[in-house]
Amino acid sequence: MASASKLDLDHIEEGVKDSSAASVSGIKPNSGLPQPPEWIAALSPEERTAMENKLKRKIDLRLFPMVILMYIMNYLDRNNIAAARLAGMEEDLNLVGDQYQTCVSILFVGYLLMQIPSNLFLNKLGKPAVYLPSAMILWGCISAATAGTHNYIGLLMCRFFLGFVEAAYFPLWRLEEDVGMDDWVDSHQQSFMHGLKLAFMDIKVYILMLLIFGIVAAGSVTNFFPIYTAFVVALAWISNTLPRPPAKRATALALINAVSNTSSIYASYMYPSSAGPRYVLAMSVNSGMVFLAICAALILRIMLVRLNKKLDRGEAVDGAVNEGTVAAGQKGFRYKV
């Protein structure tokens, strides 16, 4: 009896040691997740860090230049109508009244209509290497076809479909290690409709919406100087402020981006030739939008500071990557303020 008990204790002790060793190496036994190759599992943490840094540098050198070039082409095709206007496009196509402004704004109507469906289709297709270059070829053809237009209707249709196709592209990068981070939620929590419901119920989504709407609405000034920092920081703020579940974050990002770009529809009408050279109304609206963005940023900061204090106390915060303990709050996830 005593020997049997001793064997049981030895067996339990060995199991604990094996489990601890697996935890140290970063591999959870029987987790159901794919295990790394043996040669990777045998690497020390320092060696793995060095290899990851080498891989990231390779990605920076091979992938980012092409992605940046694609975004530049996207931006040029979207805004080349202004250069065409200076070259006499209005006289060539007999544009009168606010027809030019309508051609500018109609692009964003197509852009907004297709943005969320395009994201859903990309997730369904699962092949961005095919989808994004195909979209780029299409918008290149549509942009080239704009040169063959002879009247207002032709230009209007080209601009609408240009925005419709360009909605597929927006710069984003995610490490492969992040792909499996939503395994702790079920398929219902990952669904688009569930994410849409959570996004509409979170007040932080509306504050971020006002923040980025104000920044984009004042783009005529910020792009001229140029001052891009606020827009880039605000986009990064979305991912940290709405970290999970992934369906909610993806839906909120699409909604915020769609609503913020609605300002581009009316903005072109605020700069008629008769209002030059001071454009008092347009500049007043830009100033008001900047003030709106500042107020939204301050309100969001106050809210996130309060949530961080809850994390410090070990209180559970909805949507935060937090285990509900003081240690998790102090050493784990925190909202960026």
180: which 2 tokens? 């499996």
Are residues 261 and 315 part of one domain? yes
Are residues 191 and 324 part of one domain? yes
Give the whole-angstrom CA distance, residue 217 versus residue 264: 7
The verdict on residue 226 lying in a domain is yes
Question: Count of domains in the chain?
Answer: 2
Predicted local distance difference test score (pLDDT) of residue 278: 85
Are residues 327 and 225 part of one domain? yes
The verdict on residue 225 lying in a domain is yes
The verdict on residue 111 lying in a domain is yes
Are residues 214 and 336 part of one domain? yes
Are residues 254 and 144 part of one domain? no
The verdict on residue 265 lying in a domain is yes
Going residue by residue through the chain (337 aa), what tens digit of pLDDT does each one get? 444 444 444 444 444 444 444 444 444 444 455 577 788 878 888 888 888 888 889 888 888 888 888 878 887 887 788 888 888 898 999 998 889 989 988 988 888 888 777 776 776 677 778 888 888 899 899 999 998 999 999 999 999 999 888 887 764 544 444 444 444 444 444 556 676 777 788 888 899 999 989 888 887 676 666 666 777 788 888 878 887 777 777 778 778 887 887 887 887 788 887 887 888 888 898 889 889 999 999 999 999 998 888 888 777 666 565 544 454 445 567 788 7
Are residues 325 and 254 part of one domain? yes
- Closest listed residue to residue 207, CA positions, set 286, 266, 285, 295: 295
Are residues 274 and 139 part of one domain? no
Are residues 219 and 281 part of one domain? yes
Are residues 128 and 202 part of one domain? no
Predicted local distance difference test score (pLDDT) of residue 330: 53
Range of the domain at 233: 187-337
Give the whole-angstrom CA distance, residue 208 versus residue 299: 10
The verdict on residue 283 lying in a domain is yes
The verdict on residue 151 lying in a domain is yes
Are residues 165 and 198 part of one domain? no
The verdict on residue 38 lying in a domain is no
Give the whole-angstrom CA distance, residue 263 versus residue 216: 7
Identify the domain boundary among 140, 170, 200: 170
Identify the domain boundary among 136, 170, 204: 170
The verdict on residue 191 lying in a domain is yes
Are residues 255 and 119 part of one domain? no
Q: What is the 3-state secondary structure (H, E, C) of the chain?
A: CHHHHHHHHHHHHHHHHHHHHHHHCCCCCCCCCCCCCHHHHCCCHHHHHHHHHHHHHHHHHHCHHHHHHHHHHHHHHHHHHHHHHHCCHHHHCCCCCCHHHHHHHHHHHHHHHHHHHHHHHHHHHCCHHHHHHHHHHHHHHHHHHHHHCCCHHHHHHHHHHHHHHHCCCCCCCCCHHHHHHHCCCCCCCCCHHHHHHHHHHCHHHHHHHHHHHHHHHCHHHHCCCCCCHHHHHHHHHHHHHCCCCHHHHHHHHHHHHHHHCCHHHHHHHHCCHHHCCCCHHHHHHHHHHHHHHHHHHHHHHHHHHHHHHHHHCCCCCCCCCCCCCHHHHHHCCCCCC
Are residues 143 and 232 part of one domain? no
Identify the domain boundary among 170, 201, 222: 170
